[in-house]
Amino acid sequence: MKRFRNNVAPVFMTAVVTALLVFSGCANKNEPAWMKVNKQLVKEHGITERQRDDMVDTGIVSNLDAGKVTNISQLPEVEFAPGVKGRMYWGKGALVNWMVMEPGSEIPKETLNAERLLVMVKGSIEQLVNGQMVSMTCSPDTPGFYFAHGYVGTRDCVFLENGTENAVKAGPEGAEFLEVYSPVRLDYMQKAGVTPPENPNFGDFKAERRFPANQVFNYYDVQRTELVPDADSRLISGDALQASFLFMQPGSKFGHHNHPEEQIMIVFDGSIDEIILDGQTTMKTGDIVYFPAYMVHGGVNGPEGCNVLDVFWPVRTDYQASETKRYEALNAIIPEGEAPKLIADLKANPTGNPFLEGGVYVNGKLIFSGMFFDIPAGTWKSDARKSSVLSLDLASGKVSTILKGRQTNGMALMPNGNIAVCDMAGHQIFEMTPEGKVVKVLADKLSDGTRLDGPNDVVVDAKGGMYFTDPQFIFDEKKRAGETVNYIKPNGEVIEVIAPGEFGMANGIELSPDGKLLYVNNTYHNEANMSEVENWVIAYDVNEDGTLSGKRKFARMFLPQSEYNQGSRSSCSDGCAVDQQGNLYQATSVGVQIFNPEGKYIGNIHTPFFPVNICFGGPNNDVLYMMAWDKVYSIQTKVQGLVLPNAVQ
């Protein structure tokens, strides 16, 4: 995303000094009652108080008691127009309104006297943007939604500047959305039965803005920024308002801290034992709390984590600095403004609603698996007779079937230019030419004679050996003792290197550029005995003989919120890829998540449909291809995919 406005130095005001003295805890007869305890906590916890000299006293009084938790359901419902109601809360400078509109209801055209962020929650609307009514919508986040439908999701947002014309009409199913305003809308206060002060001074804030005004954007394209370890936020800032959509990992802690900006917090999902001054209160869905400037707070998150919205006034520039670092790291890989492009849509392909997998690039063609599953029936029963290996000519866009009747899955280029292909239903890995001719079977059993179940993904090492996962994603009644990872030695011997019981479903597999680390992801979380892998990529040291040691957690993948809510940790992580710099790319139910060589999260590539498998290719090997349900996307990168010695591209 390109930044919309450069930073503008704030205007200094006479009232600043007085306000600063009050907020920083200096002796003043106007200090609030909680300030005495606050000073003690600052000293006790060694809090370094960040200062700012542009604060103003607006004269607005919050409708929430400072540091006291309430629930949004306890706030009065206000009617804004026929069929349009909302519940709102505000501080000295920002107001948050949760609006519900009946089907077809309207907010008449008005000229805004405040900047406004709108984020869709449910249903659809027509929103006035640049003089035209524009559709805005969102998709649900419910258990199983992603994997049942393949659709990753949309949550439309728009930022309107002060002085912009606004009008809204609800869709046929009605709508719910969040509004954040700064400064506080005085007319909204009046609708709530509160008389605002005359001519309040809201200051002159001009913070840096990443997302342009009057342009609809997708919430899921907003990158997560790490604020503190285990706490990552999607930040959307205006001139003076800042919305922080924060997720805190299960069991994590947000230590005692304070800041000169006021904060209003509401819990969306999960729970947190919120530290407020020297007390602690459990907050759950719908609970709200208002923190005036410099009030000490923190929190310990529940077992399902905690998903909250924090609204700050004015904008926290320290958070923006962290946000800049996040985008700089991502843009070193994905050019700023670059987005996935749909290059093939196979929904109507004769193979019958193919579930796309695999993926290798060879000489201008993308070769991948078109797998048949009885998805509409909800059984996911497979049929190899209706499955194929497909080839997409990237110049013409034409898709051809090069091998029929095999339910193949993951693929990897071999040093001789052929392709190692996982044949799930055939219980084997075979070698295939780029034209689709089967050369030979590479493995169909372990060296002790044990039959393979359903090879899923494969990676070739520099020696010519191959690691492959066997998560038993087949419908045969007879299977081995459990899911495994195996290794085909260069001499053809096939050994088991990860035994049953270590993964819920070992799936995607990759090697580091130096071949010393093997990465294995876990698609489904088995709560009974897989709690240590959960939504993690696991790394192993590769020994000289191809065996593995040193199992450890490497990278934690983000999940759909519904997974946290129901206590699951299934990431649906499937295929993966590595670039020459050692960055790891994971196809998951929330997009392609990228991690650096140390396992630190870099960012996410959002695709409209669930990316199942990925690979690098293109003439310069710098295009990432994403097989997403029944569609293929591509995105240009600044890096090159990992190439094996002597591999043909």
Q: What is the tens place of the pLDDT at every residue in 320-358?
A: 999 999 999 999 999 999 999 999 998 765 455 578 999
pLDDT, position 527 = 64
Bridge partners (DSSP) of residue 283 are 272
User: For the purposes of burial, counting CB atoms within 10 Å of the CB of 52, is it exposed (0-12), middle (13-18) or buried (19 or more)?
Assistant: middle
Decide: pTM greater than 0.95.
no
**Can you tell me the distance from the alpha carbon of 276 to that of 296, in angstroms, rounded to the nearest whole number?**
6
**Can you tell me the distance from the alpha carbon of 560 to that of 569, in angstroms, rounded to the nearest whole number?**
9
Confidence category of residue 560, pLDDT binned at 50, 70, 90: confident
Enumerate residues 6+ apart whose C-beta is below 8 A from 77: 85, 86, 87
Residue with tokens 């410099």: 294
Confidence category of residue 406, pLDDT binned at 50, 70, 90: very high
The mean pLDDT of the chain is: 90
Confidence category of residue 569, pLDDT binned at 50, 70, 90: confident
In this structure, what token pair is assigned to residue 402? 């090069």
By C-alpha distance, which of 616, 628, 621 is closest to 574? 628
Residue 437 C-alpha from the chain's centroid = 40
Average pLDDT over every residue of 409-424 = 95
Average pLDDT over every residue of 39-63 = 95
Residue with tokens 């306890």: 74
By C-alpha distance, which of 182, 202, 186, 209 is closest to 54? 202
pLDDT, position 24 = 41
Residue 42 C-alpha from the chain's centroid = 34
Cis, peptide link before residue 212, omega less than 30° from 0: no
Average pLDDT over every residue of 103-130 = 97
Kindly report the number of other CB atoms within 10 A of residue 130's CB atom. Answer: 11
% residues pLDDT > 70 (the chain): 90
